[in-house]
Amino acid sequence: MTGELLLITGPPAVGKMTVGRRICARSDYRLFHNHHTVEPLLEVFGHGTPSFERLTLEFRRRVLEEAVEHGVKLVFTFVWGVDDPAEADLVRQMIEPYRDAGLPVRWVELYADLETRLARNAGADRISAKPSKADLAWSDAHVREMEERHRMNTDPGDPTLADELLGDVEHLRLDNAALTADEAAQRVLSWLEPH
């Protein structure tokens, strides 16, 4: 069986989707970013409602299962509270189909300072793919709130639940604050080359 999962995580506006797109443009990976499920469900159910949460998880799980079944090399991007047990459980459920099939899971973690992320938050690429981010005042406040409330990056000197869950997974921590999306994608692809 073929197929592979490349997780790209990091805080909001760090560049996960944009870097993921560049990786896919230069390889045989396909992109599944978190807002592929978020945007249509927001319009129907509203953020955070039980239906929104249940369907977001179900849609993501089904896409991942189908990707495994059809040998798709998938880039999946999302924000992850790396110390949150509930989020660790969701990630466990999402990677289960790959692990059950004996397929590779790799993890790229992007990080950048808050100032860089706030500048990227207004990017046209981000807003066109994520209409819910078009209200920049709200979106900037959301980026700041997430920064205050959640730990969204690991630290090699301070293990997290994410490290426990994906301890056996190849992991690249990439500070992309001073990198263009193309440069970050090239670094990821170079890291993936031996595979």
Class of domain 4-184: alpha beta
What would the mean pLDDT of 109-126 be, rounded to a whole number? 87
pLDDT score of 135 more than 60: yes
Q: Where are the domains of the chain?
A: 4-184
The mean predicted confidence, pLDDT, of the chain is 90
Q: How confident is the model at residue 124 (pLDDT cuts 50, 70, 90)?
A: low
What would the mean pLDDT of 158-172 be, rounded to a whole number? 92
Q: Which long-range contacts link 32-37 to residues 24+ away (Cβ below 8 Å)?
A: 32/60, 32/63, 32/64, 32/67, 32/74, 32/75, 32/76, 32/77, 33/76, 33/77, 33/78, 33/129, 34/60, 34/76, 34/77, 34/78, 34/79, 35/129, 35/130, 35/132, 36/63, 37/63
What would the mean pLDDT of 80-88 be, rounded to a whole number? 94
pLDDT digits (tens, 9 = 90+) for 172-186: 999 999 999 999 999
pLDDT score of 134 more than 70: no
pLDDT digits (tens, 9 = 90+) for 7-66: 999 999 999 999 999 999 999 999 998 776 777 788 889 888 999 889 988 998 999 999
pTM of this prediction?
0.90
Give pLDDT, residue 98.
93
What would the mean pLDDT of 147-156 be, rounded to a whole number? 95
Give pLDDT, residue 32.
94
